[in-house]
Amino acid sequence: MTAATITPRKALLTEISARDPRVAPGFNEDGIPGPTSQYFGINTLGVRQLRDKLPKEVFASLAASIRHGKKLDLAIAPVVAQVIKEWAISRGVTHFTHWFQPQTGLTAEKHDAFFAFDDDRQPMESFTGDQLIQSEPDASSFPSGGLRATWEARGYTAWNPASPVFIVESTGARTLCIPSVFIGYNGEALDEMTPLLRSSDVLSEKSIELLDLIGDKGVQRVFTTLGPEQEYFLIDRAHFGLRPDLVMGGRTLIGAPPPRGQQLEDHYFGGIPERIQGCISEAEFELYKLAVPITTRHNEVAPCQFEMAPYFEETDLGVDHNQLVMATLRRVALRHGLQALLHEKPFAGINGSGKHCNWSMQLISSSSELDGLNLLKPGKTPHQNIRFLVFLAAVLRGVHKHSGLLRAGIATSGNEHRLGANEAPPAIISVFMGDMLTKVIEEIAAGKSSENADLQMIKLGVAKLPEVRRDNTDRNRTSPFAFTGQKFEFRAVGSSASIAFPIALLNTAVADAIGEITESLRAALKKTKSIDDAVLKVVREVFKETAPIRFEGNNYSEDWVKEAKKRGLPNLRRTPEALKELVSKQSRAVLTGLGVLSKEELESRYHVRVERYVKDMLIELHTMREMVDTMVIPAAYNYLSQLTEAAAQAKTAGIAAIPQVTTANQIGELVQELQEHREDLNDVIARVEAKHEDPTGQAEMLTTEGADTMAEVRKVCDALELSVADDCWPLPKYREMLFPV
């Protein structure tokens, strides 16, 4: 085999297997690795790997901080740093970075070398406990929504030990990444991860309090689990590079629908094309080395659309891993001459992409009976199912009370195009429970609160709810928040989004509801000695009051829109109106009251998201104007010139030129109409930019006038695309991008 035929993957495996005996050298000449289990997590150093490398007392302290959510003992940092350094250097790493998630939706990193000098000015590798624990990037250059002035540069990243350190490999470089939070000089949260961790803490605290009250003692921590299903498109890189709209904004601003789209329903779960299979397999290979547990891959509904999904993990780790999934997809796609599109709606008229977040709650307890218990999984006794029902009630109350806040958490310009577009849930937040649980909930709500809880559970036939298996709970793909057996599926999250913020808001909403239910239960227990009787009484009231949020039908239907209005459910279709829910009186009270965000941090997040919406929309407006001026109109005039010349030649030859003249007249009318709309586009841009000191006003203008004007421009451009000769049209068409040959 020549050097040219050795694939990068095979070369990498050869090197890894030489360094680590866990990696089997049994791969074929195409560079396909052996069993995944033999190299899974080779580029990570987590608790399991550290067990054998750290002194027992140091490991016990580190493990306790991770398992129970306690603060890290700084005294152990130098020992841990030394072990991490030795492991990283043995893997060919030269630099380290605190890897964090600012409010850009992406990740950020500043690389520092292990390189240093000893006392004799001799070169050496150095990595201290202080360097592991904390770093200091420039905070002024990240979105802060007014939390930091542009001249206030100081910000800090701090290691989150619950997420394993990992190595990112690129051509000629390997970098140690230390998952971190990002805070300002005064401790203010500047990132997406800090509020998520705070929300996890308060959810755990409230849950333990409720569990203790109902008799479940010894619970040390409650944490949420997350399994985000990632949808994305893969198109040819050459086509991507010829589309200014895809390059600038991630979606096509113009483009006529092809005769064939997805109406044949032949792409979903179809055979994965070989080129795509190679790309996805390599992305999975890279992710497995990073211990990202991808388990599913398949064709999605739209042509060139795909999905991958992981095993469920603890939420903060799942958030980190989803960022790695998106980054890896983008990076690996380039190696295959492809472009990964994560925008929620890259192609108009074609299904968009979401990120279905499967969410549940689990225990860590000193009791073997409770340790590892899923709180959203039914049990085998009436009391176990009382516990299940009380936490189910808490989720329903949290979503019902804070539906506007949850909608705000998924509000972006991209998701605005997707929500309610007949392939995604509508902007109305509702909950799907399935026929069997709906029957249970409604019968409990209709019962008499004085009945004995055990008898009531037996009467309802739910004393042993394990019989309600997840197979018996149907899925509703139109629901934004659906119970799918032992978990809820938050289906409304956008494909390009960082899931940290929407899940932080979900955690907070449920924690608030758990706290309210605990207080109601304390009041009920003053009137009865039976815990289960008291719980059932409280649950009954919650099920009654949250009835409006439960909906089992077609969320796409117009009838549901009307019904939701009658029920008092908000329908926040546009991003600016949804974002206002972040700073409503109720949202302020719950987020600040539970300590998830301070008043200033909450205001900053509102402003960051409004400003991002304005920037995204203005980028699209400017790009569309440029495409009209430099591509669409010149193409139309070029074809008009050809038609005019052809008509003149036909006339000279004595041949009727009616088809050419007719087409030329139609195109001429379209060009004139386009020029008029182009002026409207110019006017909107000018008026929006003139309001630069009022981002909220800009956002409101963009979501109405801006979006409407762009729609009019697109309509004419698409008509021209269908009229202008193929060889004159300068942009790759949907037909070419979505159906490559």
Q: What is the pLDDT of residues 480-503, one digit of tens each?
A: 999 988 899 999 999 999 999 999
Mean pLDDT calculated for residue range 121-135: 88
| pLDDT at residue 16 is higher than 80 | no
The residues facing 571 across adjacent strands are 428
Highest mean pLDDT pick, 57-71, 368-382, 506-520, 658-672: 506-520
3-state class of 197 per DSSP? helix
pLDDT-derived band at 508, boundaries 50, 70, 90? very high
Task: State what percent of residues in the chain have pLDDT above 70.
Answer: 88
Cβ atoms within 10 Å of 57's Cβ, excluding its own: 10
Which pLDDT score, from 0 to 100, does residue 60 have? 87
Which pLDDT score, from 0 to 100, does residue 30 have? 59
**Phi, psi (degrees; rounded to nearest 5) at 124:** -155, 170
Element (H, E) at 230: strand 219-236
**What does pTM read for this prediction?**
0.91
Which pLDDT score, from 0 to 100, does residue 382 have? 76
| pLDDT at residue 139 is higher than 70 | no
Burial of 585 (0-12, 13-18, 19+ CB in 10 A): exposed
Q: Which two tokens stand for residue 683?
A: 């006017």
Cβ atoms within 10 Å of 565's Cβ, excluding its own: 12
| pLDDT at residue 477 is higher than 80 | no
| pLDDT at residue 456 is higher than 90 | no
Task: Give yes or no for a contact between 218 and 260, defined as CB atoms under 8 angstroms apart.
Answer: no
Scanning 290-409, the segments in alpha helix (DSSP H) are 315-335, 382-401, 403-409
Structural domains of the chain ordered from first start: 1-36 (no CATH), 40-188 (3.10.20.70), 199-597 (3.30.590.10), 612-738 (1.20.120.1560)
Q: Are strands 219-236 and 313-314 parallel, antiparallel or unpaired?
A: antiparallel
| pLDDT at residue 469 is higher than 50 | no
Q: What is the pLDDT of residues 326-385, one digit of tens each?
A: 999 999 999 999 999 999 999 999 999 999 999 999 999 988 888 999 999 887 777 788
| pLDDT at residue 572 is higher than 70 | yes
Q: What is the pLDDT of residues 599-647, one digit of tens each?
A: 999 999 999 999 999 999 999 999 999 999 999 999 999 999 998 887 7
| pLDDT at residue 509 is higher than 50 | yes
Look up residue 678 and give its amino acid. R
Which pLDDT score, from 0 to 100, does residue 436 have? 81
Which pLDDT score, from 0 to 100, does residue 647 have? 75
Per residue, the 3-state secondary structure of 159-192, as one string, reads ECCCCCEEEEEECCEEEEEEEEEEEECCCCECEC
| Window from 222-236, 371-385, 559-573 with minimum mean pLDDT | 371-385
The residues facing 294 across adjacent strands are 310
| pLDDT at residue 573 is higher than 70 | yes
Cα–Cα separations (whole angstroms), residue 685 to 576, 577, 578, 617, 627: 18, 21, 23, 10, 15
Element (H, E) at 558: helix 558-567
Cα–Cα separations (whole angstroms), residue 359 to 229, 376, 395, 497, 592: 11, 10, 11, 16, 23
Task: Give yes or no for a contact between 306 and 299, defined as CB atoms under 8 angstroms apart.
Answer: yes
The sign one gets for the Cα dihedral 177, 183, 185, 187 is negative
**Spatial separation of the C-alpha atoms in residues 65 and 161, rounded to whole Å:** 8
Which pLDDT score, from 0 to 100, does residue 142 have? 82
- Nearest to residue 504, comparing CAs of 108, 98, 66, 191? 191
DSSP class of 363: E
The three-point CA angle 486-407-318 to 5° equals 45
3-state class of 135 per DSSP? strand
Highest mean pLDDT pick, 346-350, 444-448, 510-514: 510-514
**Spatial separation of the C-alpha atoms in residues 539 and 437, rounded to whole Å:** 14
Which pLDDT score, from 0 to 100, does residue 289 have? 94
Burial of 314 (0-12, 13-18, 19+ CB in 10 A): middle
Q: Are strands 165-170 and 294-299 parallel, antiparallel or unpaired?
A: unpaired
Which pLDDT score, from 0 to 100, does residue 35 have? 85
Q: What is the pLDDT of residues 291-316, one digit of tens each?
A: 999 999 999 999 999 999 999 999 99
Which pLDDT score, from 0 to 100, does residue 116 have? 85
- Report which of residues 48 and 29 the model is more confident about: 48
| Window from 9-18, 180-189, 198-207 with minimum mean pLDDT | 9-18
Q: Are strands 173-184 and 219-236 parallel, antiparallel or unpaired?
A: unpaired
**Spatial separation of the C-alpha atoms in residues 404 and 571, rounded to whole Å:** 9
- Length of the chain measured in residues: 741
Which pLDDT score, from 0 to 100, does residue 462 have? 44
